[in-house]
């Protein structure tokens, strides 16, 4: 990693119960003059205001530094979007724990390989989760989310002569839901 250019650190964890301290310490050791942190999922770029701020304001020649590529994004598409944004600004990406430095050909190649593996890991996790749900359903242990709307209560109010509009207002639901309950009667 080139040490003569300004470095902006980015640390991320998925949830607020995870600790950012190790990432922050590594980014300080790497010479980051500014470190932005957030605790958001890495599976999407949506809602990640700190990363967005970095990508908007990074200057030519500056380097976005992360500890590992998976701290930046979990899909190859998102990683490529970030690197393209950096490239368009004349900036680069580097990782402290992986040989990634997009200012070199070797670093770019390694970055692409890591991106493929990050996306693969996310897809495997989704597959395992889906398999677990299927197995739980077969055991009768998974029933999904409980219904928030009591259809019997709606039907009872309809039987009492209440209008769909009044029922919807009183229960905080849509009239369409009332009509669905009516159709089940």
100 vs 68, more confident: 68
- For residues 78 and 11, membership in a common domain is answered with yes
Which residues form the domain of 19?
7-122
Total of domains in the chain? 2
- For residues 16 and 92, membership in a common domain is answered with yes
- For residues 99 and 165, membership in a common domain is answered with no
Q: Is residue 131 part of a domain?
A: no
Q: What does the pLDDT read at residue 2?
A: 44
Q: Which residues of 159-176 are buried (b: 16+ CB within 10 A; e: fewer)?
A: eeeeebeebbeeeebeee
pLDDT at 7 over 50: yes
pLDDT digits (tens, 9 = 90+) for 155-176: 999 999 999 999 999 998 999 9
Q: Is residue 174 part of a domain?
A: yes
**CATH number of the domain that 11 lies in?**
3.40.50.1390
Q: Please say whether the beta carbons of 98 and 68 come within 8 A.
A: yes
What is the rounded CA–CA span in Å between residue 154 and residue 99?
A: 61
Q: What does the pLDDT read at residue 54?
A: 95
Average pLDDT over residues 145-154: 84
pLDDT at 31 over 80: yes
Q: Is residue 94 part of a domain?
A: yes
- For residues 11 and 79, membership in a common domain is answered with yes
Q: Is residue 144 part of a domain?
A: no
pLDDT at 9 over 70: yes
90 vs 103, more confident: 90
Residues annotated catalytic, as ranges: 14
6 vs 142, more confident: 6
- For residues 80 and 165, membership in a common domain is answered with no
Task: Report residue 137's pLDDT band, with 50, 70 and 90 as the boundaries.
Answer: confident
């Amino acid at each position: 990693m080139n040490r003569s250019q300004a470095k902006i650190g980015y640390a991320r964890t998925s949830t607020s119960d995870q600790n950012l301290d190790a990432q922050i310490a590594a980014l300080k050791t790497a010479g980051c003059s500014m470190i932005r942190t957030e605790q958001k999922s890495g599976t999407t770029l949506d809602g990640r205001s700190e990363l967005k701020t970095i990508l908007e304001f990074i200057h030519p020649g500056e380097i976005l530094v992360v500890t590992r590529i998976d701290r930046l994004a979990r899909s190859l598409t998102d990683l490529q979007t970030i690197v393209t944004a950096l490239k368009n600004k004349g900036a680069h990406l580097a990782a402290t724990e992986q040989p990634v430095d997009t200012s070199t050909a070797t670093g770019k190649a390694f970055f692409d390989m890591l991106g493929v593996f990050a996306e693969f890991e996310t897809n495997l996790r989704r597959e395992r989760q889906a398999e677990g749900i299927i197995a739980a359903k077969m055991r009768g242990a998974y029933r999904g989310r409980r219904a928030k709307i009591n259809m019997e209560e709606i039907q009872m109010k309809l039987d009492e002569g209440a209008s769909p509009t009044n029922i919807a207002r009183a229960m905080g639901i849509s009239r369409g839901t009332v009509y669905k309950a009516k159709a089940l009667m």
